[in-house]
Structure 1
Amino acid sequence: MGCNHEKVICLNPYELIRKYQCEACREVMMCECEQEFAIKYLPHQLDFAQELGTRNRLPVTIGFQKRVCNKCKGLPEMITPVAEGYGRTTKIVRYYWREIFFETTRRFGEWLNGRDNIDWLVAVSKYKDVHKEIEKKVIEEIKKLHQVAPKYTFQEESQQEIITKYRVEIINLDGCYVKQNSGRVKLFKYGALFSVEQYVAEHFKEQGYKVLFTESVPFHILFGVLMWSLIQHHSDPRNRTVGFGDRNAFDKGVPGDIVWVILPEDFGTSGYAERRARKIAEHLNALPNDKDELLWTFEHWIKPSEPLRQYLWAHRQNDIQITRKIVEILPIKAIIKILNYLAGDYWHRFCGWPDLLVYNDHNFFFVEVKSSGDSLSEDQKNWIRGNSEHLQLPFKLIKVHKKKVIGLGQE
């Protein structure tokens, strides 16, 4: 008697066409409820599954089967929100990303039928305004439906829960805000306009500190420069060659050559960290424990790390200058912690780093700046969580409250 596949594991909930592995017979399959859509729109995704965490490619062995997914079994659907990013800042978009894609693609395919005999993926670029309008309507419909019959519960810790749970130190400042029609928030001080980050930087400078504007990219550079020789090492059996467009040419808006880099298939995942744990530890232990030697290493590895850094969008010279300063400021133990933290799950940890590094000759701390009414993003919450559990770097959250609001010309 054949297996009925009662207990299955979803190999990667972030794939559009999800694949499942039966715990009993170990066969890999898809759910029949997605068959028509998958064959019509995503036939290139039906032969293999890419396992979450390891990125291992597993062949689909028995195609589409009945009653495989939770929905077909009458069970609650998996809650798998995607990270915040361009075009997906709202919870509706982040939680209902699959539903939005499926319904938008169906409607766009229906609109395209009879109008143009080209592949729908090509048509998305050709008729991007139409596709965008359809997507907008779908999102609005899902938003209304969620209000009366929510499919997902938004399971995210609030800003206050994060602050309380991880004992985040908060410094409250008052500021004179300038009312503007558009653009970033500005504050008035010393007869000049400042961004909220600049305003906070001035506050610490008055206390005798120096301030470095950081955010996330310099830490990507730190990782790329000091870890490239491990990540691209020829001994890694899962290495393969990856090609992408030259980032410098992209910045200039001109055509560029293809940049080739050797990367492990599972790079940036927790599975990579588990698989290469011993090699990561050996590499970190081999880094210089003298600051001058570490700076020398950083300088001499900037050039050979360029392909990896371009892949990570960590290539701009001004960011390299900031990173060099970070290496000068931070204790070597802190640098090693940062490298190990990013190596542990890069794609889930590379965003949300604080705005400022505040320091003097005796100590340092990181600062996240929030203007009045602003709140922590999910990436920033994730960094605070990771800092508390892994990095343990000194950190403060600065809130700049509205003491006064003036209009332009009233300064």
Structure 2
Amino acid sequence: MDSSYRSDTSGYNSRYVPSQYSHPGLHEAREPDLTAPPWTPPPAYDARPFGVGFAGPPFAQPYGFDPSVPPPGFGCPPPGHLLNLPSIPGAPQQLQTRPHAPRCDRELASNRSHTEHRGPVATRDPDDDVTRQRKQDTKWVRQFLQATGKKSCGRLQSQHSPQLSSVSSLRQALYGAAQLISRLEDLCHTLTHSLHGDGEWTHSYSRALDIKAELADKAGLLADTSRLGELKAQVSRAACRRLRRLRARREAKTEEKAAEERRSLKETAADKWRMKLMQEVEEKKKEKELKMAADSVLCEVRKKQADVKRMQDILRSLEKLRRLRREAVSKKGIVTELQNDEVFSSTLEQLRMVIKRRTVVYSAEEKALMVMLEGEREEERRRERERRVRKERERQLQRKHRVDSMLFGGMVVHVCVCVCVCVRAQGMTVVTAVVFV
């Protein structure tokens, strides 16, 4: 059958595209034969060709399929009626349809030219081809099954293998295991007390088995030491982070409290300085007001003293005028009464006594005001001297610093005096060095 298939290729009407492997020739030494072995009918057709054992197949074979014709090799392109079919989604890459490669066209054309000019073709042993093709098919099927099995197993494992992904999942697993244990204890209690009810006991027993299986899954999940170690490390890291946050929060509070204390101290110092300035200003203002009041009082006292002096002058002028008029009247021969003279003299004496008392009072006030003003002036002179001394000291320090910077380049020079004291006590000599800066 194989030899007829290969020799009579022009009569083949299965609409397969002829391949390079259907015309063995010079390329047999370079490339292996990938043609499939002859198809053997299954026992269902009574081992007869074309399925005549059971009156043939019930349906017509699609695409002109002939069971007696072996399929082409895996390296050849698909038949012409399958070239334009869309690829099946989800099928393996090696089973999807692809466009016709130009390499196959060139090889088909070269093979056709070779077959036209070579003449008769030599035949090969079909057993070697069958064995080689079977090995290749077995290898391809094994690779395909391994690839699909890995994908499906990985998908199933990813779907049905829960893991402890986080601490919350571990907590849920522990709580779930505790709940399952409590439920299993209740079911065990129910099973021990419901031995006479077969239906209830069977139902409880099935539920207990299911809960036991779930508890075994939870236990297996919790028995993962590596994952538990990772979760413990994660918990310890979270605890460390929490401690760091607490420490940072505590340090921030301490720093804030210290800053508040420093701020309060600065505010207290600023308030003291402000109160000091205000007191100084108030004192200066009071001193100025007191000085102005003393000056005004002194002016008043001096004005009153001037008035007293003027009154004394007026009294002396009146006394002189009285004497002159009495002399003029006595020259004219007119005699005045003594009583009038006594009244005038007593009035003048009273006025002189009042002026004298006022003069004493005004003199005391003037002395007190002069003492006060003298104290104020002395205080001002003392302040002025202190201000001048302070300015002179600052000027000398600046001059000294300028001289030192000119001589030593801005270096601070300290004079060090080292005194060594030797003390001899109980046969031992102790040297003590004292440094004075």
Rg comparison, structure with higher value: 2
Query: TM-score when scaled to structure 1?
Result: 0.16
Query: TM-score when scaled to structure 2?
Result: 0.16
Higher strand share: 1
Looking at both structures, which has the greater relative contact order when contacts are Cα pairs under 8 Å and sequence separation is at least 6? 1
Higher helix share: 2
